[in-house]
Amino acid sequence: MAHPLLQFNENGIYCSAGDFYIDPWRPVDDAVLTHAHSDHARWGSKRYLAHDLSREVLKYRLGDIALETIGYGETVYKNGVKISFYPAGHVIGSAQVRVEHKGNVWVVSGDYKLEDDGVCAPFEPVKCHTFISECTFGMPVYKWKSPKEIHDDINNWWRKNKEEGKNSVIAGYSLGKAQRILQHLDLSIGKVFLHGVIANTNEALVRNGIKLQETTRITSETSKEEIKGAMIICPPSALGSPWIRKFQPYSFGYCSGWMSLRGAKRRMAADRGFVLSDHADWDGLIQAIDATQCECVCLTHGYTASFTRYLNEIGFDAHEAHTYYGGDEASEEDQLPTDIVDSEGDVIKDKEVSDTREAEEL
């Protein structure tokens, strides 16, 4: 890689020309953030730059920080380096960070997906010389069905549970998955209740101007009669807790791309597994990388070794990069994110899993 505009060091992805970091995992002076998930947005830096729609969630998660925000397509300069944001399609407020200096263009994608989920701004490919990409689901076994099919399955499951006198409890991380589940629920079936962490996140998004479907926060005063036949959205950390037991009788559903693996539903003690991911699948990763027309690819987290080999075999100049990312969907599955799987999706070997956790799990 000639003339590296961005470099990986002990603090994160560093731009020496602009003297700033993108998604640093240690406190720095200037942090540019792709999105508000805790593995990409960490506390302790002096100054932050993020997308407008991340503002209130970042304040909720990180507290009183020095935060500047800009919209998609807007530009700021740091020491002569041009920085602009483009939609990543991952969660509300997620952005790809385009960095340009002396004609050299790099794009840090953060996390992304290509499907338009109807909740966040859809992914836009950005042409560049070097593309820094995740590959959370960088194996051919991961191929998503249409989002509509999955949301129809969730509504039909809820409807059936209500007919059988059960409540429906569904798990998804608090920023991204929870809003995606909520916005596609059929409220003619019943009421929707939220775990406090998800209610707090939604309130932050509403303060940022996001419109969400009507819900009710669950409190200690919420009665069993109120929630009868309801849909209850909770974070994965609620699984097995005393909080979840009060909703009996209930059916438990889990939303994650990892539900495409055989045995994943059993390992998460779920009655139903819904393959719903906020990350690109195998085809989406390749499509996104190809659309950038990049000369070089850096892979930051996921199946980096095998995906790097594959990209090099088909003509890309691909490299692995060690980072501390992978803490949203990747941390919720109890080693599932780093499993080695065969072509049928069976787990054949577990590797060490990152100890990074979503904010609600700390």
Does residue 167 contact residue 230 with C-beta atoms inside 8 Å?
Answer: yes
Domains and CATH numbers, the chain: 7-142+279-331 (3.60.15.10), 147-274 (3.40.50.10890)
Residues 6+ apart with CB under 8 A from 125: 288, 291, 292
Q: What is the pLDDT of residues 225-263, one digit of tens each?
A: 999 999 999 999 898 889 998 899 999 999 999 999 877
- SS3 at position 225: coil
How would you write the pLDDT of the chain (362 residues) with one tens digit per residue?
A: 456 999 999 999 999 999 999 999 999 999 999 999 999 999 999 999 999 999 999 999 999 999 999 999 999 999 999 999 999 999 999 999 999 999 999 999 999 999 999 999 999 999 999 999 999 999 999 999 999 999 999 999 999 999 999 999 999 999 999 999 999 999 999 999 999 999 999 999 999 999 999 999 999 999 999 999 999 999 998 988 899 988 999 999 999 999 998 778 777 788 999 999 999 999 999 999 999 999 999 999 999 999 999 999 999 999 999 899 986 654 443 333 333 333 333 333 333 222 223 333 22
Residues 6+ apart with CB under 8 A from 243: 195, 234
Is 0.95 topped by the overall pTM? Answer: no
Token duo for residue 202: 């939604």
Q: What is the pLDDT of residues 20-70, one digit of tens each?
A: 999 999 999 999 999 999 999 999 999 999 999 999 999 999 999 999 999
Cα 172 to Cα 119: distance, rounded to the nearest angstrom: 15
Cα 1 to Cα 357: distance, rounded to the nearest angstrom: 32
**Is the CA virtual torsion 155, 160, 163, 169 positive or negative?**
negative
Token duo for residue 154: 């969730």
Token duo for residue 60: 């909720």
